[in-house]
Structure 1
Amino acid sequence: MKKRRLGNSDLLVSEIGLGCMSLGTDKKKASEIVKSALDEGINYFDTADLYDFGVNEEIVGENLKPFRDQVYIATKVGNRWTENKDSWSWDPSGDYIKLAVKDSLRRLGTDYIDLYQLHGGTIEDNLDETIGAFEDLKKEGLIRYYGISSIRPNVIKEFVKKSELDSVMMQYSLLDRRPEEWMSLLEDKQISIIARGPLAKGLLSEKMLEKATEEGYLDYSYNELKDLLPQLKDKFSGEKMNATALQYVLSNQCVASAVAGASSVQQLRENCQAANSSSLSHDELDVLKKLTKASKYTSHREY
C-alpha cells in the first residue's frame, strides 16, 4: 500500500484508510476486518467518540493495541451525547475537548492520539479557544497532530488562517467535487485532505443504481444518476467502478488518504485492490470532470 505525508506532520498514511464507523459492534466481525486491513497495508484508522457511544473506539483500540507503534489512530471530538444518549449537542469548548480526549484515550487504550479532529464546526464557535485546547493537548503529548472534519467554507478559512492544523476531512468523490474549490489553498499551506465517502454511499461501486434512492444524491437527481453512472462504467469498462472512483480522488496530491468504510472483509479487499490499480491519465481525468458536476458548497460562506 502506497503512503502519503499528512500535512506538515511526520505521519506517512496509507492511501486507503479504514473508516471505522461501519465496523459495528460485533467484535468478532470487526476484528476480522481490522486484521485484514493491517494485512493489506492500511495504517490509518479513523474513528470518533460519537460512534456507538464510544464502543467503536474501544473496538478499534483493542484490535490495534498489539500494532500500536505501526499504525495511526485518528478520532474526533465535539459532539456530546445527552445523558439519555438519545441525541447529542455541539460543544467545541476547550474544557470539553480536554475532558473528552481523556475518555477517548481510555477507550482506545493508548497514551496518545495521532490525529485529533474537531467533528464539525461553526463560525459562531470560539475558534481561538478550540485551537488553544488542541495546541495545549499537543504540548502535553496527548495528541500528536490535529485537524478538522468540515466542509463549511468559512470554518475552513478561519482554521487555515488561525491554526497549525495538518488536515481537513471532507466528503469527496466524483459525485461530490466540492472540496476541489479548496485544494489550491490547502496545498499552498501544506494541509492535507482526508477524503471520506469516496464511493458516494456505494453509488460508485459495481452496485451503482442499486444504491440510489428516488431523492438522488446531493445535486444529482435519480434520473441524472440513471444516465451518468452507466456512462462512467462504459467509458472505463476496463476498470471496476470503485477503482475509477478511488483513483479519481487519489489523483489529487492534496489528498493524503481516501477513507472508505467496510462492512465485510471482501469489501475491504476490493477497495485496497482498487487503490493499487493504475492511476488515471490526464485525458481520463478530463473525461470524468466533463461528465460530473464541479459543485460548490453554497451555505456557510461569505461570498
Structure 2
Amino acid sequence: MRHVTLRDLEVSRIGLGAMGMSHGYTGSGTDDAESIRTVHRALELGVTLIDTAEIYGPYVNEELLGRALQGRRDDVVLATKFGLVSHTGGGEWNLDSGPANIRTAVEGSLKRLGTDHIDLYYQHRVDPNTPIEDTAGAVRELIDQGKVRAFGLSEAGPDTIRRAHAVQPVTAVQSEYSLWTRGVEERVLPVLRELNIGLVPFSPLGRGFLTGAVRSPDQFDENDFRRDNPRFTGENFRHNLALADDVAAVAAEVGATPAQVALAWLLAQGEDIVPIPGTKRVSRVEENAAADAVVLTAGQLDKLGSMPPAAGDTHTAAQAQMLER
C-alpha cells in the first residue's frame, strides 16, 4: 500500500477504524478473536494507521488493540482520543478537555494500549468550557514528555483549528467525510490545506450504507446506534437507498465493490486525505485495503461527486451539539 504524510506522520493511504470491533454497531464486542485477526491482517496488507478512543466501550476497544498489537507496536501509527470521558467527576459522555483531565486520560490510554507513547492524540470533541489554547498546551506538554508524538482534533471548526494550531501544530483533523457527508469541503478543508494539516475521514463508507449491504433498518440490533440515526430511519432511509445504488452502478463499471469505489473517490480528493474505514472482519479489511489500487475515470469521479445530497442529518440533535462543522 502507498504511504502519504500527514504533516509529520507517515501513514498508509488507508487506515483502520477499530470502534466497531467493540462499540456502536450490530455484533460489536461479540468476537474479539476475529477482531484481532482483522488487525493482524490489516498489518499484513500494509495498513499502518489504526484509530481508537477511550470512549469506545468505554475502554475495551483500547484494551483489545493493546492485545492485538503485542509485539507489533512498531508496525503501527496508533491514534486514540480524549475528551468524551470526564475523569474529574463528570464521567462518560461528558465533554472535558481540561489539562487535568487530559493528564489522567493519557495515562489510562497508555496502559490499556500497552505502549509508552501515542502517535496521534486527538481531542475527540471540542469542549466549549475549556479554551482550546489550554487543551493544546496540555497536549504540547505530553509531546515534550515523549508520551505523545502528534496532536489532532476531531470535528473542529476553522476558528478552533487555527487557535489550537497556534499553540501546538495540529497534525490531523478527523471529521466525517464521504460521498454523502461533504460539509468539510467548504469551510474546514481549505483551512487544513493552508496550515498543512491532514484530514482523516471517519465513516468514509457512510456507516456501511454506501457499501450497498444495508437495505433495511431491521438489519440493526438494539445496540446499533444507527437505529436512531436520522439517515437510517423512515423516508430518509428509502431516499438514501438510491445513493447506494448510484455507487453500485459505478462499481459495476469499474469491476470493483461499492465500498472500494466510495473509498477511491475519497482518495482522489487529495494526497492529504487518509480515510479510516472501520470493520471487525478480515474479509472487509481486505476489501477496503484493495481500494488503494482502484482508479476512477474523470467521468466516474464527476458522476459520483454530483450525486444528490443524502436525506437526514448525520447525527441526532443531541450528538450534533458536539460538532463544529
Q: Give me the TM-score of the superposition, normalised by structure 2.
A: 0.82
Q: Which runs of 5+ in 1 are unaligned?
A: none
Which residue does the alignment assign to 1:286? 302
Within the candidate set 194, 209, 214, 1:203 is matched to 209
Which residue does the alignment assign to 1:185? 191
User: Per-residue CA shift, 1:139-182, capped at 9, x if unaligned?
Assistant: 11110001011154553454345541110000111000111122
Specify whether residues 300 and 113 from structure 1 end up closer, same or farther in structure 2 by C-alpha distance, changes over 3 A only: closer
Within the candidate set 200, 222, 226, 2:237 is matched to 222
1:152–1:300: 8 Å Cα contact kept in structure 2? no
Following superposition, the deviation at residue 76 of structure 1 comes to 0.3
In 1, the alpha carbon distance for the partners of 2:272 and 2:162 equals 18
Which residue does the alignment assign to 1:21? 19
In 2, the alpha carbon distance for the partners of 1:114 and 1:222 equals 38
In 2, the alpha carbon distance for the partners of 1:170 and 1:283 equals 27
Q: Do structure 1's residue 80 and structure 2's residue 85 form an aligned pair?
A: yes
The residue correspondences of 1:61-210 to structure 2 (distance < 5 A) are 61-80=66-85, 87-160=92-165, 162-181=167-186, 182-210=188-216
1:5–1:256: 8 Å Cα contact kept in structure 2? no
Following superposition, the deviation at residue 40 of structure 1 comes to 1.1
Which residue does the alignment assign to 1:244? 261
1:202–1:208: 8 Å Cα contact kept in structure 2? yes
SS in 2 for 1:225: helix
Which residue does the alignment assign to 1:4? 4
Q: Do structure 1's residue 258 and structure 2's residue 275 form an aligned pair?
A: yes
In 1, the alpha carbon distance for the partners of 2:74 and 2:91 equals 36
1:4–1:13: 8 Å Cα contact kept in structure 2? yes
Specify whether residues 68 and 290 from structure 1 end up closer, same or farther in structure 2 by C-alpha distance, changes over 3 A only: same
1:153–1:300: 8 Å Cα contact kept in structure 2? no
SS in 2 for 1:199: coil
Which residue does the alignment assign to 2:285? 268
The one-letter code matched in structure 1 to 2:258 is M
The one-letter code matched in structure 1 to 2:153 is I
The one-letter code matched in structure 1 to 2:265 is Y
The one-letter code matched in structure 2 to 1:241 is P
The one-letter code matched in structure 1 to 2:32 is K
The one-letter code matched in structure 1 to 2:291 is A
Following superposition, the deviation at residue 245 of structure 1 comes to 0.4
2:210–2:243: 8 Å Cα contact kept in structure 1? no
Following superposition, the deviation at residue 215 of structure 1 comes to 4.5
Specify whether residues 302 and 193 from structure 1 end up closer, same or farther in structure 2 by C-alpha distance, changes over 3 A only: closer
Specify whether residues 236 and 261 from structure 1 end up closer, same or farther in structure 2 by C-alpha distance, changes over 3 A only: closer
How many residues in Structure 1 have an aligned counterpart in Structure 2? 299
1:18–1:259: 8 Å Cα contact kept in structure 2? yes
Calculate percent identity across the aligned residue pairs.
29
In 1, the alpha carbon distance for the partners of 2:281 and 2:155 equals 27
Q: Give me the TM-score of the superposition, normalised by structure 1.
A: 0.87
Following superposition, the deviation at residue 202 of structure 1 comes to 1.3
The one-letter code matched in structure 2 to 1:283 is G
In 2, the alpha carbon distance for the partners of 1:190 and 1:86 equals 35
In 2, the alpha carbon distance for the partners of 1:95 and 1:72 equals 25
Stretch deviating more after TM superposition (223-232 or 96-105): 223-232
Following superposition, the deviation at residue 209 of structure 1 comes to 3.2
In 1, the alpha carbon distance for the partners of 2:274 and 2:310 equals 21
2:83–2:123: 8 Å Cα contact kept in structure 1? yes
Specify whether residues 300 and 72 from structure 1 end up closer, same or farther in structure 2 by C-alpha distance, changes over 3 A only: closer
Q: Do structure 1's residue 36 and structure 2's residue 77 form an aligned pair?
A: no
User: Per-residue CA shift, 1:70-116, capped at 9, x if unaligned?
Assistant: 21110000112689998431110001101111111111111111000
Following superposition, the deviation at residue 208 of structure 1 comes to 4.8
Q: What is the root-mean-square deviation in Å for CA atoms of aligned residues?
A: 3.1
Following superposition, the deviation at residue 269 of structure 1 comes to 1.1
In 2, the alpha carbon distance for the partners of 1:197 and 1:301 equals 15
Which residue does the alignment assign to 2:246? 231
2:21–2:61: 8 Å Cα contact kept in structure 1? yes
The one-letter code matched in structure 2 to 1:263 is K
1:74–1:115: 8 Å Cα contact kept in structure 2? yes
User: Per-residue CA shift, 1:124-152, capped at 9, x if unaligned?
Assistant: 43111101101111111110001011154
